[in-house]
Structure 1
Amino acid sequence: MTFFRSLFVATRLWFILTVFVLLFITAYAFPILFPLVQVAFVVFIILIGLDSWLLFRTKAGNGIFTRREVPDRLSNGDENPITIYLENRYSFRTDVEVIDEIPFQFQRRDVLFRARLNPRETRAIRYELRPTRRGEYSFGAVNVFALSPLGLLKRRYQVEQGKMVAVYPSFLQMRQYELLAATNRLTEVGVKRIRRIGHSMEFEQVRPYATGDDVRTINWKATSRRSDSQGAALMINAYQDERSQPVYCLIDKGRVMQSPFDGLTLLDYAINASLVLSNIALMKQDRAGILTFSDHIGQLLPADRRTGHMLRILELLYRQKTRFLETNYESLYASVRTHIRQRSLLLLFTNFETVSAMQRQLPYLRRLAKDHLLLVIFFENTELRNLLEQPAADTEQIYLKTIGEKFTFEKRQIVKELAQFGIQTILTAPQNLTANTVNKYLEMKARGMI
């Protein structure tokens, strides 16, 4: 049974059989050709037996060695590398076809690769997968079909069945921002250089004046004391960035975050941005926390910056589930007031399509902004923007563009109305969410707003 399960027929064999059928039909009309066709068919049967012997004379592990290399975790929304290693242990050149049984979530049936391997040759086949949902993904077997030089039959080698891989929020994007921040190259991903305005209020030390220091920071009392004891020398007050400030990402898991863009929901874009922003905040010595909510409060991770806190944030974001019900902002306000006592920066990831939808939640937003520094982040409809950029060719398109202009105008009105009550906003396209959020956070740090 193992032999027959591993035996497959190549396309070349079916083609030759078709030719023999035509030859036998021709020999029926011209009997003189019948003996020649019979001899050729017997030779063909012998070649099939020879091909079978070449492929199956070795044990399963001594023909084609195969190994698939998959990361322990996949990054949601990113291209993740997958590698399949092949080694030809036959004594002859072998053509191989590789079919990888990838998880059903990708809905792909084109993961087929072909290669030609010389004896003892090793080959690495690399491709990429882009998951769009968090959760567990199950990889099936790697099927390798080997053909001898005759190319009549195939032998299947099936390895690595049942590998389970978890898809986490975009940790590849987080590492990219972390690396660029460490090397001062954040401008490569759209993060602007922010000029610091004024001075931080957190005192560090009194030190001697150096060329280029701001003369407004001269400490005249310390200067006079030093002049009396060690000679004339100017002393200045040195300040450092304020640290250990609470930064919370409030993630709306309600119905408004269900809209898809490039395969990911707005919720997953918000989760990926929250992961990157939390990591940047920890690098800036601030404390990062997470609060999720929809029709009720989900999970709350208090702001902290102890060792291992980033891993706790990653695990919390990975396990977020929702039914995309109507959001309850009243419960959000009650939870923030109860659990977040210290004034903090609150980054609220949500979405408002109309001014009336925002006005229904405005009383709760104003109360949050009264006790904390609130930044509301919502999304631009990129499909509408593409529609508005195209010229209208008929009356129907004019009507659609008019409706689109109305919705786009309402988005800008939301920004203006929130600004009237001192609420910071970001209106962004989903693909620019992370860069724009990090930009705004760094701007607020530079301006001493938090």
Structure 2
Amino acid sequence: MPNSTTEAIGHLANYPWLLLAVVLLPLVIVALVRKTYPSRLWIGLLIIPAALSLAVTLTDAWAYAVIAVDAVILLVGLVDYLMLPGSRGLTAERQLVRTASIGAPTSVDLTVINRGSRSLRGSVRDDLPEGFLSSPEQHPLLLPSRSQLTFRRRLTPLRRGVAELTTVYLEVVSGLRLWRRHIELPCESKLNVYPDMKQLSDYALLARQDRLSLIGVRQSRRIGQDNDFERLRDYSRDDNYRHIDWRTTARRNKLTVRQFQTDQSQRVIFMLDCGRMMTNEHDGMTLLDHALNSFLMMAHVALARGDAVGMLCFSDRIHAYIPPRTGKAQMNRLLQAGFNQFPQLFESRFDKAFLYLSNHCKQRSLVVMATNVIDEVNAGQVTDYLSNLVGKHLPLGILLRDHQLFDAADHPSSDPQRLYRAAAAAEILCWRNQVIQDMKHSGVLAMDLFPEQMTAPLVNQYLEIKAKHLL
């Protein structure tokens, strides 16, 4: 018997790394099956048998020490592993608002409930969708058995759309800190992130103070505003007090206002291009983001003036259609239809979009479409389909500029490569100008704007259309 033991030790002496492999194999199995990993302390302890394994190559006497140390480490690690808490009895609940604005922080309360018999120690991290910032990113966790703990963080969305939070991640450590176990608790929540509506409140504030010129909006003089009397009606909160008919109010004993022809409801329809032409970015926002923000601003202005506003979202198919309506509730419908629209790498089907518009909008409307053109085929489609609306509707086409293209044309250099680049950019800009002129000659109202400077000129164009009664 002693001879057989000595022979086994002699074989181990010939393969010193086999002892280390015997220790590592259980760790690999546990990590793959139970999502449990050794801590740095556990890895540090493995240095001891590794060093002793090297000593075995010098003398067989160290083999007994290696076996003894391995047995102690395995026993301590096994006991500590068996005391490691599992996911049984653990649940998570999340409380957050249903809607948020892009760039605006919102509070999220996360509650971890431990119904088990073992305490938890480690850290907890809530789900973080792509394009979001979290402060803090994780929380320290010290949760006794049969208790619960609530954590609060600030979640800042940097992109609009529907954000899904599905999982809560826990990392618990064992009593001797030799093991770390990753636990995933299902907890599903949805957060609707809308575009920044601060511009709407700023507009309302400046309008009340008669300071719209600060944001580039010009007050257009309405032709026949106080001459084209239409009828008397009951006063509403949004009416101008100067239009109150005091004599009729005294007779009816009820506030009554005079309504003029310029207050009649007209229709505005936005065509939101969600195709590949709107994927370019500027200041971290796509052309579609800039167009949507400007459309919402103009919709706010139009609804405040009693006009009916609708929207058609399309790419290679029709994404959404909101029929033109008046009232404050229409703004919410437009937000719901547009906040989850993103540019897609598909060629926009203008034929489908304009055919759908023709079938669903029979009354004369101001049709506003913002897009980008890069070749003659794309430009020809935009020009042709907008021109076909002339007579039945009033089309307004907006071509969004590319900063890189204009910078290259505006800053030529003596360097041959940059000089050729500037010449090519200038040729493209001349072609774009010709496209704009062709649209205007066919009766289309056309604008050529930088995406971040689109809002004020668009609102001014709308006010000018209203003032001149072009609809």
Task: Note whether the superposition's TM-score is higher than 0.5.
Answer: yes
Distance in 2, matches of 1:418 and 1:428, equals: 15
**Equivalent of residue 183 in structure 1, options 205, 211, 214:** 205
Distance in 2, matches of 1:137 and 1:146, equals: 27
- Is the aligned partner of 1:85 residue 2:105? no
Q: What residue number does 1:17 align with?
A: 46
Q: What residue number does 2:281 align with?
A: 261
RMSD value over aligned CA atoms? Answer: 5.2
Offset from partner CA, 1:122-160 (integer Å, 9 cap, x none): 54344445457x6x7654422211225743211333212
**Equivalent of residue 181 in structure 2, options 134, 137, 155:** 155
Q: What residue number does 2:253 align with?
A: none
Partners of 2:36 and 2:180 within 8 A in 1: yes
Q: What residue number does 1:289 align with?
A: 310
SS class of match (2:458): helix
Offset from partner CA, 1:249-283 (integer Å, 9 cap, x none): 1344566x354326876456545544453344223
Q: What residue number does 1:214 align with?
A: none
Q: What residue number does 1:233 align with?
A: none
Q: What residue number does 2:123 align with?
A: 96
**Equivalent of residue 397 in structure 1, options 418, 422, 426:** 418
Alignment of 1:54-133 (within 5 A): 55-56=84-85, 60-61=88-89, 66-69=92-95, 72=98, 83=108, 85=110, 94-96=121-123, 98=125, 100=127, 102=129, 106=130, 113-117=137-141, 122-131=150-159
Letter paired with 2:219: R
Change (3 A) 1:431 1:12: farther
How many angstroms does 1:398 deviate by?
2.3
SS class of match (1:340): coil
Change (3 A) 1:415 1:308: same
Distance in 1, matches of 2:61 and 2:189, equals: 63
Alignment of 1:282-321 (within 5 A): 282-291=303-312, 301-306=322-327, 308-317=329-338
Q: What residue number does 1:414 align with?
A: 435
Offset from partner CA, 1:205-227 (integer Å, 9 cap, x none): 99xxxxxxxxxx9xxxx9xxxxx
How many angstroms does 1:94 deviate by?
3.5
Partners of 2:84 and 2:175 within 8 A in 1: no
Distance in 2, matches of 1:11 and 1:185, equals: 63
Partners of 2:135 and 2:153 within 8 A in 1: no
Calculate percent identity across the aligned residue pairs.
20
- Is the aligned partner of 1:380 residue 2:404? no
Alignment of 1:299-448 (within 5 A): 301-306=322-327, 308-317=329-338, 324-325=346-347, 327-328=349-350, 332=354, 336=358, 339-342=361-364, 344-353=365-374, 358=379, 362=383, 365-366=386-387, 368-388=389-409, 392=413, 394-419=415-440, 423-434=444-455, 436-442=457-463, 444-445=465-466
How many angstroms does 1:407 deviate by?
1.6
Greater CA drift, 264-273 or 183-192: 183-192
How many angstroms does 1:181 deviate by?
3.2
Q: What residue number does 1:211 align with?
A: none
SS class of match (2:310): strand
Distance in 1, matches of 2:425 and 2:184, equals: 53
Letter paired with 1:195: Q
Greater CA drift, 326-335 or 151-160: 326-335
SS class of match (2:195): helix
Partners of 2:110 and 2:150 within 8 A in 1: yes
Change (3 A) 1:242 1:23: farther
Letter paired with 1:411: R
Partners of 1:141 and 1:159 within 8 A in 2: yes
How many angstroms does 1:287 deviate by?
0.6
Change (3 A) 1:131 1:238: closer
How many angstroms does 1:240 deviate by?
9.1
Partners of 1:28 and 1:34 within 8 A in 2: no
Change (3 A) 1:36 1:241: farther
**Equivalent of residue 171 in structure 1, options 194, 206, 214:** 194
Alignment of 1:225-240 (within 5 A): none
How many angstroms does 1:348 deviate by?
2.1
How many angstroms does 1:87 deviate by?
5.5
How many angstroms does 1:288 deviate by?
0.6
Distance in 2, matches of 1:15 and 1:88, equals: 33
Change (3 A) 1:154 1:336: same
Q: Which has the larger radius of gyration?
A: 2
Partners of 1:8 and 1:154 within 8 A in 2: yes
Partners of 1:196 and 1:446 within 8 A in 2: yes
Q: TM-score, structure 1 length as denominator?
A: 0.66
SS class of match (2:216): coil
Distance in 1, matches of 2:113 and 2:157, equals: 26
SS class of match (2:206): coil
Show structure 2 runs of 5+ residues with no match. Answer: 1-28, 233-241, 246-257
Show structure 1 runs of 5+ residues with no match. Answer: 207-216, 223-236
Q: TM-score, structure 2 length as denominator?
A: 0.64
Change (3 A) 1:52 1:274: same
Q: What residue number does 1:210 align with?
A: none
Letter paired with 2:44: F
